[in-house]
A and B are shown apart, each in its own frame.
Chain A
Amino acid sequence: MSEIKVVTNILQTNDEITSKNKKLLDEKGIYVINLMSSPGSGKTSLLERIIAKLKNDINIAVIEGDIYTTKDAQRIEAQGVPVIQINTGGACHLDAEMIKGALNSLTLDKVDLLVIENVGNLVCPAEFEIGEDIKISVLSTTEGNDKPLKYPLMFEKSGAIILNKLDLIEFTDFDKEEFYRDIKSLNANADTFETSCVKDQGIEEICSWLRSKIENKKSSVK
């Protein structure tokens, strides 16, 4: 009997495809967001508002991930930007292979910003790299401020965290102080934003933050 050293990453297949996706997107200087949250926290609504403000001077493309239906893709398409819908048919997250397929169907040459809206799920999407520059997670006030501690990984790995549905906070017992304290303990380096889509609040802040991220990425390839 003999022992062999293997030392191989169990997710190597996903990671290899992720690197290829990332290389392609880096070469084109496209800033890529992996947008994650629970179902119904407002990812698509936020995206609609952000697209409306950015689309005149920034070329945006979107990949929508859902288990079934093209409902989200239709909403994004109505904003006049190219969108690819991925239906996972049951899988609870997007993986690198699915993104590779979607990238083949998009014309990437003029794209500045690619937003990948992951399947609504506070757990699994955080575990799979897909070729993004940043993970952004959204939490809505109606979900309760206890979620970051209950589902730490997503908030731990996010470069930015958006607190959405601020207009509803007065109808909930959402404790903002506790929320920010918890987020700091998980991930002190994340940028944070507060938004309300119905009141068009906080969207401009996100957009100007995004503009500088996109600019940085672009200048990295020049």
Chain B
Amino acid sequence: MHEVSIIQNVVEIVTEKAIENKFTKVTKVSLRIGELSGVMPESLNFAFKSCIMDTLLEGSTLEIEKVKAIGECIDCKQEFPIDHFNKLCPCCNKFCSSIISGYELYVNTIEGD
């Protein structure tokens, strides 16, 4: 994945929100990242450290919450954990009708003064 460009987008989104809320400093940024999104938290942390220099985010901490991948079976009205290699309904063994979560990539909350 493109951890640096992702973090650049994060810095942009957070800066805009911070200004909107009259923050002079951002202290914490929380992201929600889906298990299937293909993004590595370690690389995000590394990119974050370099990209926040000389921004409102300088000195802030990055929190990454992993979002579990969940599939749904319309027939059985079931929601169940899935991964890349197994998306079968545990009840009827059919391939899941839809993927409810797992591809998330978003800025959830920010903290600041």
User: What is A's interface to B at a CB cutoff of 8 Å?
Assistant: 1-13, 123-124, 127, 149, 152-153, 156, 182, 184-186, 188-189
Chain B: interface size category: 20 to 34
24 A-B pairs (CB sep. < 8 Å): A1-B27, A1-B112, A3-B110, A5-B109, A6-B17, A6-B107, A6-B109, A6-B110, A7-B107, A8-B17, A8-B107, A9-B105, A10-B9, A10-B105, A11-B9, A12-B9, A13-B9, A127-B1, A127-B38, A156-B84, A185-B85, A185-B87, A186-B84, A188-B95
Q: How far is the CB of B13 from chain A (nearest CB, A)?
A: 5
The dominant DSSP class at the B interface is mixed
Q: Is B6 interfacial (CB-CB < 8 Å)? A: yes
* A10 and B85 within 8 A (CB): no
User: What is B's interface to A at a CB cutoff of 8 Å?
Assistant: 1-2, 6, 9-10, 13-14, 17, 21, 27, 31, 36-38, 84-87, 95, 105-113
Residues of B with C-beta under 8 A to A6 = 13-14, 17, 106-110
Which residue on A lies nearest to B16, using beta carbons?
A8
Identify the interface centre among B6, B107, B111: most chain A CB within 10 Å of its CB: B107
